[in-house]
Amino acid sequence: MEEQKDFSAIGQEILFTARNELYMNLPYLDVALCALRFQPGGGVTLSVATDGDVLYYDGGYLAERYLRSRVLTNRAYLHVILHCMLRHLAKKRGKLPELWDLACDVAVESILDDLHYPCLEEGTVPAKQKFYGECRADMPVLTAEGIYRRLLRLGLPEYEVARLQRGFLVDDHGLWDPEQQDDQQQSQQQDEKWKDLSDKTKTGMETVLAGRATGGEAVLEQVKVAVRDDVDYRAFLRRFAAPREVLEVDGDAFDYIFYTYGLQLYGNMPLVEPPETKEEKRIEDFAIAVDTSMSTSGELVRQFLACTYAILRSTETFTRKVNIRILLCDDQVRSDTAIHDLEELKDYMDHFQLVGGSATDFRPVFEHVAKLQKEGAFTSLRGLVYFTDGMGIYPKKRPPYDTAFVLLEEPPLSVKMPPWAIRLVLTVPELEKARQEAMEQLPDELDLEELPQL
């Protein structure tokens, strides 16, 4: 018992030492580094773990790692903190535990390996670098969400998953399970706390501490993803709508007082009739550009188009007759398809093929749209939505219409979008949510099986 007590005290001292050393090297993480209380036990053996409020530890485990190298305890401490900052605990809900835990460990370890500080450098591990390279072929920033999607897509056998787990395992994730937390309100408050801490860290790195945050670009890239609010893609598309008069009773502009007064006064003769038309914002002229470079997945493009189709299918905001141009482009425009009604859009998606595969240059799309405008193909073009990974050559001059770049991953910090560009970062779950909301507002007579599946 005495020996166990000594190891607990030693473990706590090691954690204090690690925290101080990390603070001296990464001052922009000062608030986050002090956000967890230390407590031995908690069912943790030969590891460290957290539930978002407390860092539980095994004193003997920390002592053994500290004797091997002080870097190992520093990395273990920051590994746990980054899990919390990136909100990996709360995001576990609804995911396959083994793959999500692995994806989170890979994402965090990739950050640690990109932080070139003596207190964190453990040397190059070829197996880890190989897996990073494979993941970066699919995504610009190694986020847990992106790695998780990749693992699902690969369908690796159990022994391969176990091999990767051994290579990236640092802490115990047994306390993460949000499904078993009794107090959901407390869990949500905890998640909001870490989101706020991450937001403050991001602000500090971008402003006050920008000069001292050199080397922390890897942290900033992922923190920006962690603090991003959920996006309503349906609401986002509404900004491209223009006022149109539609044949429909306008209940908001109808004065029921004069209507009922006339019925009371004359028996069956109202003084006013309901307006037969009303003004709504509808989308008619619209351009969709799809990046078909080597970095863009054909399946993700189809998911994006499926979601956009479902939203366009809902008649509340969008007209039945449309003038949509779908452009496929890498370093040149590979395909230009004119869509005049939503049935044509569905047929296009059913036979969709990704054409291209070269580098990304956004300028040909804007030159092509300008040519279409000059030829009269558009009467009132409100905007263009460009589905891409964000990495390419941008036009220097702002086009005479709104342009939105829709991304499924946060692009690297080295990517500098022009100030006139609207940037929207979506995730596959957010696309699915927008699609489901659009489906709920579809006409009753429409067969939902007609809609493309994500």
**Which tens digits make up the pLDDT trace of 358-416?**
778 899 999 999 999 999 888 878 789 898 878 888 998 999 888 888 887 666 666 77
Q: What is the pLDDT of residue 72?
A: 93
Q: Which residue has the higher pLDDT, 430 or 57?
A: 57
Q: Which residue has the higher pLDDT, 230 or 48?
A: 48
Mean pLDDT lowest for which of 14-23, 343-352, 385-394? Answer: 343-352
How far is 232 from 239, CA to CA, in rounded Å? 12
Same domain, 89 and 211: yes
Residues 416, 153, 357: CA angle, nearest 5 degrees = 50
Q: Does residue 73 contact residue 14 with C-beta atoms inside 8 Å?
A: yes
How far is 289 from 365, CA to CA, in rounded Å? 7
Q: What is the pLDDT of residue 314?
A: 62
Same domain, 329 and 438: yes
180 has a pLDDT exceeding 60: no
Q: What is the pLDDT of residue 277?
A: 54
Q: What is the mean pLDDT of residues 48-61?
A: 91
Number of residues written out for the chain:
454
pLDDT band at 54, cuts 50/70/90?
very high
Q: Considering the domain boundaries, does residue 250 fall inside one?
A: no
Q: What would the two tokens of residue 93 be?
A: 């809900």
Q: Which residue has the higher pLDDT, 122 or 236?
A: 122
Same domain, 211 and 343: no
Q: Considering the domain boundaries, does residue 202 fall inside one?
A: yes
Burial 148-185 (b: 16+ CB within 10 A, else e): bbbbeeeebeeeebeebeebbebbbbebbebeebeeee
Q: What is the pLDDT of residue 106?
A: 94
Q: What is the pLDDT of residue 194?
A: 87
CA distance readout (Å), 206 to 31, 86, 113, 202: 16, 17, 21, 6
Q: Considering the domain boundaries, does residue 265 fall inside one?
A: no
Q: What would the two tokens of residue 417 be?
A: 């979008």
Which residue, 340, 345, 309, 342, is CA-closest to 234? Answer: 309
Q: What is the pLDDT of residue 195?
A: 85
The residues near 128 (Cβ < 8 Å, ≥ 6 apart) are 109, 113, 167, 168
80 has a pLDDT exceeding 80: yes
Same domain, 237 and 203: no
Q: What is the pLDDT of residue 279?
A: 52
Which residue, 43, 115, 41, is CA-closest to 79? Answer: 115
438 has a pLDDT exceeding 70: no
Range of the domain at 59: 2-226
Same domain, 8 and 124: yes
Residue reference for tokens 């899990």: 83
Quote the percentage of the chain above a pLDDT of 90.
Answer: 23
User: What SS3 state is found at 353?
Assistant: coil
Q: Considering the domain boundaries, does residue 113 fall inside one?
A: yes
Q: Which of 226, 256, 291 is the last residue of a domain?
A: 226
Q: What is the pLDDT of residue 266?
A: 67
Average model confidence (pLDDT) across the chain: 79
pLDDT tens for 253-265 read 555 665 676 667 6
The pTM assigned to this predicted structure is: 0.64
Same domain, 302 and 383: yes
Q: What is the mean pLDDT of residues 192-202?
A: 84
Q: What is the pLDDT of residue 95?
A: 85
Same domain, 215 and 344: no
**Bridge partners of residue 242, in order along the sequence:** 282
Same domain, 207 and 305: no
Same domain, 239 and 171: no
Q: Does residue 48 contact residue 56 with C-beta atoms inside 8 Å?
A: yes
Q: Considering the domain boundaries, does residue 257 fall inside one?
A: no
Domain count of the fold of the chain: 2
Mean pLDDT lowest for which of 47-56, 60-69, 311-320, 322-331? Answer: 311-320
Same domain, 192 and 321: no
φ and ψ of 15, to 5 deg:
-65, -40
101 has a pLDDT exceeding 90: yes
Q: What is the pLDDT of residue 420?
A: 87
Same domain, 290 and 187: no
Q: What is the pLDDT of residue 445?
A: 41
Domain CATH number, residue 289: 3.40.50.410
Residue reference for tokens 């998606």: 349
The residues near 371 (Cβ < 8 Å, ≥ 6 apart) are none
Q: Considering the domain boundaries, does residue 259 fall inside one?
A: no
Q: What is the pLDDT of residue 382?
A: 79
How far is 187 from 185, CA to CA, in rounded Å? 5
449 has a pLDDT exceeding 50: no
Mean pLDDT lowest for which of 53-57, 183-187, 246-250, 365-369? Answer: 246-250
446 has a pLDDT exceeding 50: no
Q: What is the pLDDT of residue 292?
A: 83
Q: Considering the domain boundaries, does residue 79 fall inside one?
A: yes
pLDDT tens for 270-287 read 655 665 555 555 667 888
Q: Does residue 194 contact residue 80 with C-beta atoms inside 8 Å?
A: no
164 has a pLDDT exceeding 80: yes
Q: What is the pLDDT of residue 448?
A: 41
The residues near 325 (Cβ < 8 Å, ≥ 6 apart) are 286, 287, 288, 336, 337, 338, 339, 369, 372, 377, 378
Same domain, 175 and 301: no
pLDDT band at 356, cuts 50/70/90?
confident
